Chains A and B, each alone.
Chain A
Amino acid sequence: MSEHVAPPVLSTRKFSLWYGSHQAVIEVDLDIAERQITAIIGPSGCGKSTLIRAFNRLNDLIPGVRTAGQILFRGEPLYGRGVDPVEVRRRIGMVFQKPNPFPKSVFENVAFGLRINGFRGDLKAKVEEALARAALLDEVKGDLHRKTGYDLSGGQQQRLCIARALAVDPEVLLMDEPCSALDPIATAKIEDLIRELASSVTVVIVTHNMQQAARVSDYTAFMLLGELVECGPTRELFTRPKDSRTEAYITGRFG
């Protein structure tokens, strides 16, 4: 199919990461396909968050972090000399496990990214567009300036965070367990949203929940103890895992 022809947006080449002396990611080789949803699954502590945070260089801020190998972003080394992590983060957005809106109005939450990126144009239209893409606009339309991010429900907050990330038109959206703090209805809404987003952005989503990975993703990567065990089209990985460890995990024998 055509997705194998298109070059990957992100690809890791024997990528390793250490927190001090502890190696959290071990020589991972993984390709993230353009405009597809890639899920990363694996038991707690296997390095999923570490890997996804490596994609937008958010680990740089943690003292004692060291990397080896490479991550290529559209063919360019992400950790190369002269690469500005700020620039990287403008092109690769992120949504976190716990909703973390700014303690400001809904409008300002979304507008912040645009402002710092020197957006010229109709700020209001752009903010509303982002809120619409995150399926939140209808619920907050009247209170854009009146309500703060904290006045929203958990699910709304998470969609606000998605809108905030989408506003700057990222090429990739990283999501680290975006639904783990939400109830089933809010989760369902966000899953629908993620499916819709895939038409315009590349999504990488970390999840604990195998059903969720099966429901939303095109590709799934399975990690164990810092290593990438297996990666492939989601249906294949869940129905015919190549590795016995993957099989053990998806059939619930550990994890």
Chain B
Amino acid sequence: MRRKLVGWGFAAVAGMALGIGLLVLIVLIATTALQAAPITAMRAVAGAGISLSLRSMEVPGTREAAGYVTVAQVEAGSPAAELGLARGDALLVVGSVPVERPSQAWEAVRGAPGGRGVVLPVAWLPRAEVALGTLRATPGGVTVATPSPMAQAGGLAPGDLLLSAGSIPITGTRQAWEALAVAARTGGAPVEVKLNRAGEEIRLLWDPVRRGELRFVRDPLRAWWGFLTTLNEPRYPERAGLLPALVGSLYVVLVMAAVAFPLGIAGAVYLEEYAPTNLLTRTIEVLVANLAGTPSAVVGIIGLEVFARALGAGRSVLAGGLTLAVLILPTMVVASREALRAVPRTLREAALALGATRWETVRHHVLPYALPGILTGTILSFSRALGEAAPLLLLGAFLFVTYVPQGLGDSFTVVPLQIFEWATRPQDGFATVAAAAIVVLVTLLLLLNAVAILLRNRFGRRWAG
């Protein structure tokens, strides 16, 4: 009875631990996935052909700044280009939402009712040269030098002294256009422009806003696929791409695996099967066990001093891979030794008694038997290395890498570093992109761990008998 109770107790504690673990994992993934969700709308905007950036104007007479959104890039041949949007235009409204920040444009696309594709009205103020023409700062204020055709059509004439747009005083040549944009967005068009023409104050009701409809394709699959497979465009989160970081991670992990896998197993086999028990091997054992606990940042400094500087590998894929190899080698040796130690002595004796040499015994019987355990340890080490940012940061890996590394000597970035870089950007949208990259990284790590479990089960069943 008591034994049963104890058993139940253990089962309850184990179940609770497992449940809490799973819950934390699910909450973690759910929240990051939620944070990453706007990426679909972001890439839909990018897909329509425009990149947005946030600008701000100081409102004269106040200490406040008013934000507005400019079109930073227009892709040639895109729907946006066909509509007439151009670089430098101020985007004012998407759907029914006035946009003060880029994120509001994405939110408007995200929140619009409809299916995968939506057609939304957009309104924008053409860039300063088109909307206003050239202005000049004169002692009296901002004067129209040569009005653009559009400004002329709206009623502006050369020599006009611009006073205000909406309720915003005009104080500068650039600011005049900004005031127009902010006034059009907040007060709507037409905008009441006050000006002084030949000493006389004139109120002009002018509508400088252009309108049209843009089609946005909200396709999560396409968005995520695009995120994974495009080069990184570091300035615009809606064009951020994880490809350079993914390839960088892959290369670095490959270099690391090529170095750490054979060395780790060889080291473990030597220590476990060959090394005599003397002071030297004891010392090595203690050293290895302690190295396994070295903070990864310290390993990064070793990598910087030894591989990047002394060996002249620089901030290359090679140096990164070697640094990570140093990081995981001790763990790999310890885990592999554990697996080797679990091989029954009777199996070794069976082979040795047949006249097998030590190496034949190890190669044909001990290693195959220990392999699932070794592989499990290896994959777990690899997944740890895949998630490491600190050592590579110290190594000096580049944060801005917009190309895919081609060889061992190229500079690189990795997914965790890219996440770090994105997460520290203050601009709208980078948090979303960072969250998306986290989702990718966590998925990768889970996949690797699943493979480790599968390996263990598959081989475990085959051998255990």
Contacts and interface: CB of A to CB of B under 8 A. Distances in A.
Interface string A102-130: 11000000001100110000000000000
A98 interface: yes
B298 interface: no
B353 A116 contact: no
Interface string A139-179: 00000000010110000000001001100100000000000
A86 interface: yes
A172 to B, nearest CB: 12
A94 B365 CA distance: 17
Interface stretch (B10-18, B300-308, B342-350): B342-350
A87 interface: yes
A61 B352 contact: yes
A52 B355 CA distance: 16
A161 B347 CA distance: 11
Interface string A32-75: 00000000000000000000000010100101000000000000
Contacts of B365: 102
Contacts of A161: 350
B463 interface: yes
A123 B348 CA distance: 23
Contact of A113 (B276, B344, B354, B462): B354
Contacts of B353: 56, 58, 89, 93-94, 96, 165
Contacts of A87: 355
Contact of B356 (A63, A86, A103): A86
Nearest to A113: B354
B376 to A, nearest CB: 18
Interface in A74-97: 86-87, 89-91, 93-94, 96
B293 interface: no
Interface string B361-383: 00011000100000000000000
B351 interface: yes
A12 to B, nearest CB: 19
B201 interface: no
Interface in B25-56: none
B357 interface: yes
Nearest to A101: B350
Contacts of B344: 100
Nearest to A95: B353
Given A103-B369, A103-B465, A96 B354 contact: no
B360 interface: yes
B465 A116 contact: no
A151 B463 CA distance: 11
B277 interface: yes
B357 to A, nearest CB: 5
Contacts of A102: 347, 350-351, 365
B355 A89 contact: yes
Contacts of A103: 347, 369, 462-463, 465
Which of A63, A98, A102, A161 has the most chain B CB atoms inside 10 A of its CB? A102
- Determine which residue in B344, B350, B352, B360 has the highest number of CB atoms from chain A within 10 A of its CB, and name it: B350
A102 B277 CA distance: 28
B272 to A, nearest CB: 13
Contacts of B350: 96, 100-102, 161, 164
Contact of A100 (B276, B347, B357): B347
29 contacts: A58-B352, A63-B277, A86-B356, A87-B355, A89-B352, A89-B353, A89-B356, A90-B355, A93-B353, A93-B354, A94-B353, A96-B346, A96-B349, A96-B350, A96-B353, A100-B350, A102-B347, A102-B350, A103-B369, A103-B465, A113-B354, A116-B354, A116-B355, A116-B356, A116-B360, A116-B364, A161-B350, A164-B350, A165-B354
Given A100-B349, A101-B350, A168-B354, 8 more contacts: A63-B276, A87-B355, A89-B355, A103-B347, A103-B462, A112-B356, A113-B355, A161-B350
Interface of A: 56, 58, 61, 63, 86-87, 89-91, 93-94, 96, 98, 100-103, 112-113, 116-117, 148, 150-151, 161, 164-165, 168
**A-B pairs with the 7 shortest C-beta distances?**
A150-B465, A90-B355, A113-B354, A100-B346, A94-B353, A89-B355, A100-B350
